[in-house]
Amino acid sequence: MYYINIIIVAIFLSSCASTSNMGTKNSSEISPLTQSDEEIKQYSTAIALLNKQNFEEAKKIFVKFTEQRPELAGPYVNLAIIAVENNDSQEAFKLVNTALDKNPNLAQALNLLGFLEQEQGKILQAEKHYLDAIKNKNNYALAHYNIALLYDVYLQDINKAVIHYEKYMSLTNNKDKKTADWLEHLKSSKVNG
C-alpha cells in the first residue's frame, strides 16, 4: 500500500497539462479540449477504485484507456502502480517505460521509475529520476519527499535531505506531522553534529 499513497493523481489530466506544469510539451500530448466528459468521468472512477485498492476494476478501466487512447501516458503509470501493488516489478518497469516513451517529461512516471530503481538498490539511478521529476514539475511534493528520503537514508546527505523535506512540507502546507518532527530532528542534529 506504500506506493498508492505516494503517486495517485489524476494523471490522465496531467498528461495533457499545459507546458507550465509539465515542462516541454510532448508531441504525443493532446489538448484537454479533446477529452470528453465521459472519459474524464471514467478516469476519475478508475482513480477512485485505485484509491480504494480495488485494483482489478481499476485495471480494467486503465487497460481500456490504453486501447482507446494509446497516446496517453497516464493510464500506463497507473497500471504500473497496480503492478507495484501486485509485487510485479518487471511489469511495473515495462509499463512506466511505456509511459515515458509517450511522455518523457511526465513527473509521475519519472518519480515511479525512481521508486522502482530504489527498490532494486539502484540508488544513483533513482536519484536521477527523482531529480528529473522535480525538474519537470518543481511543485511535485512526492518527488521532493522521495528524494529527501533517498538523501537521508541511503546517501547520508543530510543537507540535501533537509532542503527537499522543507520543500515537501511547504508544498503540503506542513500537514505531515511525522515528517515535520523528523525534519526538526535532522536540523537539530545538523546543528549539534
- Model pLDDT, residue 20: 24
Q: Give 102's pLDDT tier (boundaries 50, 70, 90).
A: very high
Residue 160 has pLDDT above 60, yes or no: yes
* pTM of the predicted protein model: 0.82
CB 182 within 8 A of CB 165: yes
| Residue 99: predicted pLDDT | 95
146 pLDDT more than 50: yes
Please report, for residues 12, 48, 62, the alpha-carbon distance to residue 58 in angstroms, rounded to integers and kept in the order given: 13, 8, 6
Would the pLDDT of 13 be above 50?
A: no
Q: What is the pLDDT of residue 3?
A: 43
pLDDT score recorded for residue 26: 27
DSSP state of 73: S
The pLDDT value given to residue 14:
39
pLDDT in tens, 41-77: 888 899 899 889 899 999 999 999 999 999 999 999 9
Which residue ranges form the domains of the chain, and what is each CATH number?
Answer: 4-192 (1.25.40.10)
* Burial classification of residue 121, based on how many CB atoms lie within 10 Å of its CB (0-12 exposed, 13-18 middle, 19 or more buried): exposed
Map grid coordinates 515535520 to a residue. Answer: 180
pLDDT score, position 18 = 27
Smallest Cα–Cα separation from 4: which of 59, 82, 115?
A: 82
Interval 95-105 mean pLDDT = 96
